[in-house]
Every structure is written in C-alpha cells, then in structure tokens.
Amino acid sequence: MWIYQHIDWTNFQWDYSRLASKLSDIRYKQGVLLGKMQSLGFDVRQEATLNTLTNDVVKSSLIEGENLDTQEVRSSIARRLGIETGGLVPSSRDVDGIVEIMLDATQNFTQPLTQERLFDWHACIFPTGRSGMHRITVADWRDDKNGAMQVISGAIGHENIHFQAPSADIVQAEMDSFLKWIEDDIQIDLVLKAGIAHLWFITIHPFDDGNGRIARTITDMVLARAENMSDRFYSLSTQIEIDKKEYYLQLESQQKSNSDITNWLSWFLDSVSQSIDSADVLLSQIFYRTKVWDIVNQHIINERQKLIITRMLENNFEGFMNTSKYAKLAKCSNDSALRDIQSLKNSGIFIQNEGRGRSTSYRLLDNC
C-alpha cells in the first residue's frame, strides 16, 4: 500500500522524543546565524541573500536533471531584487520563470498559499506549455489521460515503480485539504511543518511535471515563515542535491509506509541542520567577494573585466586566469584580453602567479 491508501492518511504522527533535540539544535543554529547576519552591513546581507537564492534555484532544478546557467539565475534575481552587482548577463524566459516563483515564495512568505498561486507558479516554470518535447497541462491539476502518474526507473519492459501518485480524480480534494492545513494556525513548529508540507505535496503529485521544484519552493516559504523574514541565508536545496540519492530513498521509503513519518522528519531535520552549517562557508566567501568588489569599484573597469571578475568569484570557477581563457569567456580577441589583464594587474586586482610564457596565469587579489 502507498501511504495515501491508509485510512489515517494525512493524520500524520511522529515520535517527538526522537526529533526534539534535532529541532532544538536547528532553532539554536538559526538564531546564531540570523543574529550574525543582522550584525553585518546591508550590502553583505544582500549579497548573502542573492547567493543563497541563486544556489536554491540552481540546485532545485539540478535535482530534477535541469542544469541552469548560474550567471543567468544570479542576474535575474539581482534585477528583481534591485541589487546592484557586477557582471549581469541577460537571462532566459525559463530562468526568469523559476526565479519568479522562488522570489514570490520567500519575499511574500506571509501571503497565503492558494490554488491560484500554485497555478501561477506552475505557469512560470513551463511558459511554453511543454516539458521538453512533450505538451503538458499547465496551471491546472493533472488529468492522467495518459495513464497513472508514476515515478519509475529502468529500461522499457523492466521498469521499477518507485511511486504511484493518487488518482487524478481525487487531486482536487487532496489539494483542498493540503492548502487548508498549510494556512491553519495549528500548534506545530514551522520547521516541522516545512518537512510535512514537503512530503504531503510531493505525495499528492498534483501536476504533470514540476512537482519536486514546487515542493521545495513551498518548503522554502514555510522555512521563511519559521524565521519570519524574507532574507535567506542557507539553501536546503543545495544540501538535498548533495544528498540526492538518499533524498529519493527517504521519500520512496515513506511513501511505501504509513502515516508515522518520524523517519522522514528526522532525515529532513538533519538536512536543514547541515544546510545551516554550510552557511558559515558561504559567509566567508561572501565576505571575500564583497571586499573584492569594494576594491574593484575604486577603479574604472570595462564590462568585459566585470564579467571576468564575476566568473572568477563563482564557486565553480576552477584554476587561474590566462589570456586564452579570458578571451574565450569574454568573447574577445587575445590582444583585448591581454590589455584587460594588464590593466587589472596594474590596478592590483589581478596578481600574477609564478611562471612565464605559456604558463603565465593570474589570480584575484589575496587577503583583502
């Protein structure tokens, strides 16, 4: 039996004694992190929020196998939040759509979650009415006209069914119950509520596609309510993407079980805790980026140079900069790249590494 086939489906139960210390630890970590952020300058908090939301959008899509361009996501978020930052690039409609729903969820976290709002989110994710090459129902619940909604893996004829969602004809009633519950002022810690909401929504699986991304968006909205602030300083989706295999195993195990969701909530709380721990690393990176831009902004640089500095400050940038790499990334000639590099070197923004000739390379300024 699937979890929703049990008579006590949605009458969720858990062993609080197994969760209490984890929940208390999370609340303590949240307080320390938020206190630390409140003591920092406005620009640093903005940068932290920008980086966290960028990671959330990119990693939530990556969990579903969609690799979004980090710079496009960052630029889209910065423009919508009115954050001035270097190296902004144009963003695609697909990127803008997923950014819109994340910002709506986290910046407007006090607004009620309604059916209309979910439909708007879904339309933002699939602006063309298609998922890849396939036309899907957008801004409405699935109809199962092509068969039961299933999560499967394996070759054709040897499929492994990990989960089969409730029949489409009960989705409306299921979602009515879910939306009523999520807005009810019930006596439950909102961090726990975020974990329950995630499992509940993704089990109903109300849409043809995009259920995972919307489930994680709802989770972020409830976590923002738990902290009563729109600024985001840690990314749960980043942690889930790191532990993606276990994430799916935990979901599958719970969806094949009953309404005792202790194991799921225990794993969820561990993930939230680990994502908060990772925020300290992010803060160190943000401090460095902020200092770099403070120094860069004291000089006159061109758009190519802004783009390159931005790329070098990304977490996934590997190695050092050289003339050919600069020319490729900035889409310019080697001569222009060399002039730009020499200008950055003379300004103290680039530091030349040891090595000459073809081995000549540069890094951004140290200990700033």
Within this chain, do residues 195 and 222 fall inside the same structural domain, yes or no? yes
Q: What one-character-per-residue DSSP string does 4-72 give?
A: GGSTTTT--B--HHHHHHHHHHHHHHHHHHHHHHHTS-HHHHHHHHHHHHHHHHHHHHHHTT----HHH
Domain, as residue range, for 324: 299-364
Within this chain, do residues 153 and 237 fall inside the same structural domain, yes or no? yes
Has residue 287 been placed in a domain? no
pLDDT of residue 24: 97
End position of a domain, from candidates 255, 282, 309 = 282
pLDDT of residue 273: 97
Q: How far is CA 365 from the centre of its chain?
A: 30
Q: What one-character-per-residue DSSP string does 190-240 give?
A: HHHHHHHHHHHHHHH--SSS-HHHHHHHHHHHHHHHHHT-S-----HHHHH
Within this chain, do residues 162 and 206 fall inside the same structural domain, yes or no? yes
Sign of CA dihedral 249, 64, 105, 3: negative
Within this chain, do residues 205 and 93 fall inside the same structural domain, yes or no? yes
Q: Identify the three-state secondary structure at position 300.
A: coil
CATH of the domain at 132: 1.10.3290.10
Within this chain, do residues 166 and 108 fall inside the same structural domain, yes or no? yes
Has residue 30 been placed in a domain? yes
What are the angstrom distances between the C-alpha of 298 and each of 132, 301, 344, 347?
45, 9, 12, 9
Number of domains in the chain: 2
Q: Which residues of 132-164 are buried (b: 16+ CB within 10 A; e: fewer)?
A: eeeebbbbebbebeeeebebeeeeeeeeeebbb
pLDDT of residue 244: 95
CATH of the domain at 312: 1.10.10.10
End position of a domain, from candidates 227, 254, 282 = 282
Query: Residue 91 has what DSSP assignment?
Result: -
Within this chain, do residues 80 and 133 fall inside the same structural domain, yes or no? yes
Within this chain, do residues 242 and 312 fall inside the same structural domain, yes or no? no
350 contacts 363 by C-beta, under 8 angstroms = yes
Paired strand residues for 350: 364
Within this chain, do residues 269 and 313 fall inside the same structural domain, yes or no? no
State pTM to two decimals: 0.81
Has residue 290 been placed in a domain? no
Q: Residue 196 is encoded by which pair of tokens? A: 């329950």
pLDDT tens, the chain, 368 aa long: 899 999 999 999 999 999 999 999 999 999 988 888 887 778 778 888 998 999 999 999 999 989 999 999 999 999 999 988 766 788 999 899 999 999 999 999 999 999 999 999 999 999 999 988 889 999 999 999 989 999 888 777 778 899 999 999 999 999 999 999 999 988 899 999 999 999 999 999 999 999 999 999 999 999 999 999 998 889 999 999 999 999 999 999 999 999 999 999 999 999 999 999 998 777 777 778 878 888 999 999 999 999 999 889 887 788 899 999 999 999 999 999 999 999 999 999 999 998 877 789 999 988 65
Q: List Cβ neighbours of 337 (8 Å cut-off, separation of 6 or more).
A: 323, 324, 326, 327, 330
Within this chain, do residues 230 and 329 fall inside the same structural domain, yes or no? no
